[in-house]
Structure 1
Amino acid sequence: MIYPARPWLIAGFLVAIALCLGSPARAQIVAIGASNVAGRGVSSSDAWPAQLEGMLAAKGRSVHVTNAGINGDTNAGMLARLDSAVPAGTKIVLLDRLGGGWNARRLHQGDQTAELAAIEARLRSQGIRVIPMWWNAVLRNYLQPDHIHFTPEGHRVVAAHMLPSVISAVH
């Protein structure tokens, strides 16, 4: 006896399996910080988190880097929004430890240090690896006219310097 619907049932079953399996797992990375993470003054594709994702893809790493930077953010602000900015399944957080939002507001350095410690402790307690955002005096050569925010090339330099640390963390 011939069952004309059988090939369609088999095809549907195979499609259902493929949908359930989905694509290969992608490591979830979140960059959190202030305006130099957010990419103030440059396009979102020029901000270092996007450039880092592209560099990782070029090296064969299947990752997604979420840009959770907010212009003018402070450590207190990052701590308050940590649960919403860093979703379940995040493996690595790239942390802006030197965001200028707190400095511009003349907030107390001791409070900033304690808030950073609280951010890192909470992330590590969830098994999330924390990698500090790379900063160096050489970046002064890659600032916009405001002398605060990176140019697209400055963002590329940051991404390139962070790349080896992130690759080793992704395994």
Structure 2
Amino acid sequence: MPLSSIFIRITIASLLAASALPAKAATIVAIGASQTYGHGVSRGEDYPSQLKKMLAEKGYAVSVENAGVYGGETTAAMLSRLDSTLGSDTKVVIFQPGRVRDSDTDRSDNVKEIKQKLAARHIAFIKIPNSWFKDFPRQSDGQHLTAGGYQKLAERLLPSVIDALKKK
């Protein structure tokens, strides 16, 4: 076999092998307070972990990072740590502002600035309204969700997250 034919075959085989490698997975960051963290449930039962499992079952090879804070957090604090929370592969941010209140004006301004920062980096923004939590099973503290409640939240988020990933 001529040397040029061997070279062509090796080149084609290398290109085929390279195209079979998985693309770098996108990252989804869930930022918020104790409901995002998964207060009162075991690691893996929080909604970001359950969402990751659901996405994997649908064939999405993504990383879902839980950037929730255990003790509650204001939107000002979320804004201040936003840049350090996001990686270069972040494609979607799920934002849950929690019940810890800034003033209404500060809260609105902070959410607006978070959205602007994400838009500048071409990162999709999904906000979880606090009203979503009212229908889900709660722990005995009356505030935080049970593992089943976090599962329902992940199920409710799943279509929005898939839509956001398809657009990225």
Smaller-chain TM-score bracket: 0.7 to 0.9
1:126 and 1:46, CA in 2 relative to 1: closer, same or farther beyond 3 A? same
Structure 1 Cα separation of the partners of residues 133 and 25 of structure 2: 32
Shift in Å, 1:139: 3.4
Residue number in structure 1 paired with 2:94: 94
- TM (norm. structure 1) is 0.80
For 2:88, give the aligned amino acid. A
Is the Cα contact below 8 Å between 2:34 and 2:69 reproduced in 1? Answer: yes
| Identity %, equivalent residues | 38
Is the Cα contact below 8 Å between 2:29 and 2:65 reproduced in 1? Answer: yes
Structure 1 Cα separation of the partners of residues 103 and 23 of structure 2: 45
Q: Which runs of 5+ in 2 are unaligned?
A: 1-13
Structure 1 Cα separation of the partners of residues 64 and 24 of structure 2: 14
Runs of 4+ in 1 over 6 A off after TM superposition: none
1:163 and 1:41, CA in 2 relative to 1: closer, same or farther beyond 3 A? same
Residue number in structure 2 paired with 1:153: 148
What's the secondary structure of 2:65's corresponding residue? strand
Q: Which runs of 5+ in 1 are unaligned?
A: 1-13
For 2:91, give the aligned amino acid. K
Shift in Å, 1:169: 1.3
1:68 and 1:141, CA in 2 relative to 1: closer, same or farther beyond 3 A? closer
1:38 aligns with 2:37: yes
Is the Cα contact below 8 Å between 1:140 and 1:147 reproduced in 2? Answer: no
Structure 2 Cα separation of the partners of residues 94 and 30 of structure 1: 6
Shift in Å, 1:145: 1.1
Structure 1 Cα separation of the partners of residues 115 and 135 of structure 2: 27
Q: Pairwise mapping of residues 22-101 of structure 1 onto structure 2 (< 5 A)?
A: 23-71=22-70, 72-97=72-97, 99-101=98-100
What's the secondary structure of 1:139's corresponding residue? helix
> Alignment length, in residue pairs?
150
Structure 1 Cα separation of the partners of residues 133 and 56 of structure 2: 26
The one of 109, 120, 134 aligned to 2:104: 109
Shift in Å, 1:57: 0.3
1:67 and 1:138, CA in 2 relative to 1: closer, same or farther beyond 3 A? closer
What's the secondary structure of 2:122's corresponding residue? coil
- TM (norm. structure 2) is 0.81
Structure 2 Cα separation of the partners of residues 119 and 77 of structure 1: 11
Residue number in structure 1 paired with 2:160: 165
